[in-house]
Every structure is written in structure tokens, then in C-alpha cells.
Amino acid sequence: MKLLEDRIRKDGKILPGDILKIDCFLNHQIDTKLMDQIGEEFYELFKDTAPTKILTIESSGIAIAYGASRFFGFIPVVFAKKTVAANMAANTYEAKEHSYTRKIEYTVQVAREYLNENDRVLILDDFLANGEAMHALISICQQAGAKIVGCGAVVCKTYQPGEQRIKDLGYQVEVLARVRHMSDDGQIEFE
Amino acid sequence: MKLLEDRIRKDGKILPGDILKIDCFLNHQIDTKLMDQIGEEFYELFKDTAPTKILTIESSGIAIAYGASRFFGFIPVVFAKKTVAANMAANTYEAKEHSYTRKIEYTVQVAREYLNENDRVLILDDFLANGEAMHALISICQQAGAKIVGCGAVVCKTYQPGEQRIKDLGYQVEVLARVRHMSDDGQIEFE
């Protein structure tokens, strides 16, 4: 997605630890016009999969999922909740996620009433790094017996294993901006 | 907002501790069509205040703020981040919030680069109970020197002090559904 790549080149910052910071338009401040455009792009990529629900994870995935939902005829968005403590609840699906940027493990939860075997789920998230968050969302869909129709992320780095890991599970994976290389002087190259 | 009141009557659940659970369309599963309608309602209520930015708090405020932003010409949304640990960062504005439902204290943070004295801020959130979260967002705006043009919430209970507390600070406060009474048998009355 050319528009997104240009925006990342313009506003992205490279932080120590190979972290791409784009929180001026995605993770902390949100460019809602861009979210609409990202949503439309996901619609174009997944429109043939006929999802009935979009599953994402708080907090950064919410705007992305909302933006996409509008193009899919306002299908419901469900966002998984992250809790640091593993407070088990009887009425939730749960999976573990190890956060790449925060170096901690979360318990990811979705209430059972919002996901079941009749759902066709499109999973969307902001970053696809090692695939931990996406993997947790896939696990939750599997626990619910829901059909996963596709997995989308806004950004990935192609030298990290996440994208291939999810593809290896047999799912359609679409990423809007695929970073091939980030250099210390702030240059970002895309595939 | 009649549409919202009807939806709360239909789908809201009353939990022990006087908690109104509407996470089937607002806090966990999101009805994005309703978010658009809520956004338009906030636009009608605040359109004369000419905000340049919407400030909210993760996670439940994000969809609400996005929905409103679309009607205000896609002005940026900034969502404050909540961390349980008080990890001070030099480049953020910070405030404390005591959560009504979770009974814990959060540190609420906004990066300084996303809020300054040139901003005219509309603060939006999901619930206005005791006003703690709204108060934290107001404090952050004050630290930034930003002008607060109004405060909006989707739901409040009129027998809780939050709405009046924020009004007493001199701000325009608008709430879309004002619960007057919730009874043990599940009846919900609005003002």
C-alpha cells in the first residue's frame, strides 16, 4: 500500500532494538482518514472471504478493525483483552502472548459469547513481528470452533518470522507495508 | 440519544456492584454502525466548539473517538495509555486514575509531542461514573496547555457524581444516555 509506505517513510522513527515507531498516526495518535483507507485496502484484499466478524486485540488493533468493518457492511468487531495477570475466567477463551516490544507475557482473552462455530473471522492487527499476537488470536478462534478466513496486518518486517509462520498454518496472510530493511540513519526500505 | 437508550435496554446487563455491562456492543464486541451514529451525535452536540483533536483513553474510548473524528473532518484522535505500574517517562504528561470497575489505580499517559497549547481538545470516553478517567484526561490537557472545548461520554448514571464534578470545573459536558435507576430485575430507567 503505497500511501502507507510513504507515510511510514515520512513519519516513522527507528528506535534501538529494531523497533519501528509509528505512533504518530497508528498506535497513540490516530490518523482516522488513514484508518479508513487502511480499512478499504483490507476490504479489497479479503472481500471474497465473506467474514462475519473481525477479531483484533487491544488497543492498537481497534481502529484498524473498525475502519475495515465499515467496508464489510459493519460486521461486528471483537477485540481481545490483554491482562498481565493470568486471572482465569470460566467464560472466556484464553491464549498467551509474549509481547515483542514490551518483553512481557500477556493473557489474551475473549468472552465466549462473542465468538462461536458459526463465525467466519477475519483477524486484523497492527504489527506482525514474530506472530505472537496473531497466534494467540488464531488459538482463540480455534477454541471457539470459528472459521478463520484470513489474517491481515498493517506492517511487518520481512526478516522476522511472523508472516511466514502464519502462512505455514495455511491461512491467507496480507500485510499492507512489508519492511525489508531499516538502517541506523533512519532509512526504511520496503519489499 | 433514543437509539442508544433502546439498545442499552435491550442488551445491557446489570452486574453485582451496580455495574452496567454493555460490552456486547461497546467495550468488547463493537457495533461499528452504532459507533458511527454515536460519532454523529457527538458531532451535533459539539460542532460549534471547533475541536482540532479528540482525546480519549484506551481501550474502549478508541472506537468512540474514531467514530466522532470522521464527522469532525478526520481530526486526529489521541488515546491516553494506561499502565498499572507507574513507570515515569520524561516525555509524557501523566495523571492518576482510580478505576471504578477494576478497583485499581492506573497511571494515564500521553506523549508530549501529541498535545500542546495550540490544540482545542474534545475529550470523549465511554462511561462517566465518578469522573476519574475524565479528570485524568483534563489534567493531561492542562499540563499540555491545551484548551478543552468539551467533554462527552456515552453513558453515565445520574446518581454518580462524575457528570456534575466535570460540569463544576466549568466545562460543557454531554452524555448520550443518562441512567437514572437500575433495578435488580434488570430494568433500566433513563432521565
**Domain holding A93: CATH number?**
3.40.50.2020
Report the SS3 class of residue B75.
coil
Flag whether pLDDT at A44 surpasses 80: yes
Q: What is the mean pLDDT of residues A124-140?
A: 95
Query: In the structure, what pLDDT confidence band is assigned to residue B90 with cuts at 50, 70 and 90?
Result: low
Q: Domain residues for B50? A: 2-190
Chain A CB within 8 Å of residue B111 CB? yes
Q: What is the pTM of this model?
A: 0.95
pLDDT of residue B179: 97
Question: What tens digit of pLDDT does each residue of B14-49 get?
Answer: 988 888 999 999 999 999 999 999 999 999 999 999
Query: In the structure, what pLDDT confidence band is assigned to residue A90 with cuts at 50, 70 and 90?
Result: low
If we measure between CA atoms, which residue out of A119, A127, A130, A131 comes closest to residue A55?
Answer: A119
Q: What is the mean pLDDT of residues A57-77?
A: 98
Three-state SS letters, B8-55: HHHHCEEECCCEEECHHHHHCEECHHHHHHHHHHHHHHHHHHCCCEEE
Q: What is the mean pLDDT of residues B104-131?
A: 94
- Per the domain annotation, does A173 fall within a domain? yes
- Contact between chains at B63 and A59 (C-beta distance less than 8 A): no
- Per the domain annotation, does A141 fall within a domain? yes
Q: A69: distance to nearest CA of chain B, Å?
A: 7
Which comes out higher in pLDDT, residue A66 or B106?
A66
Flag whether pLDDT at A93 surpasses 90: yes
- Per the domain annotation, does A54 fall within a domain? yes
| Block residue for cell numbers 526504511 | A188
pLDDT of residue B42: 98
CA A102 to mean position of chain CA atoms: 16
- Per the domain annotation, does A80 fall within a domain? yes
Split into its structural domains, chain B has a count of 1
- Per the domain annotation, does A186 fall within a domain? no
Flag whether pLDDT at B88 surpasses 60: no
Query: In the structure, what pLDDT confidence band is assigned to residue A49 with cuts at 50, 70 and 90?
Result: very high
Q: Which residues of A touch B110 (CB under 8 A)?
A: 28
Interface of A with B in 117-156 (CB under 8 A): none
- Contact between chains at B79 and A30 (C-beta distance less than 8 A): yes
Chain A CB within 8 Å of residue B76 CB? yes
Flag whether pLDDT at A86 surpasses 60: no
Q: What is the ipTM of this complex?
A: 0.94
CB burial string B43-56: b at 16+ within 10 A, e below: bebbeeeebbbbbb
- Contact between chains at A113 and B84 (C-beta distance less than 8 A): no
Of chain A, the end-to-end C-alpha distance in Å amounts to: 11
Could you tell me how many CB contacts below 8 A there are between chain A and chain B? 92
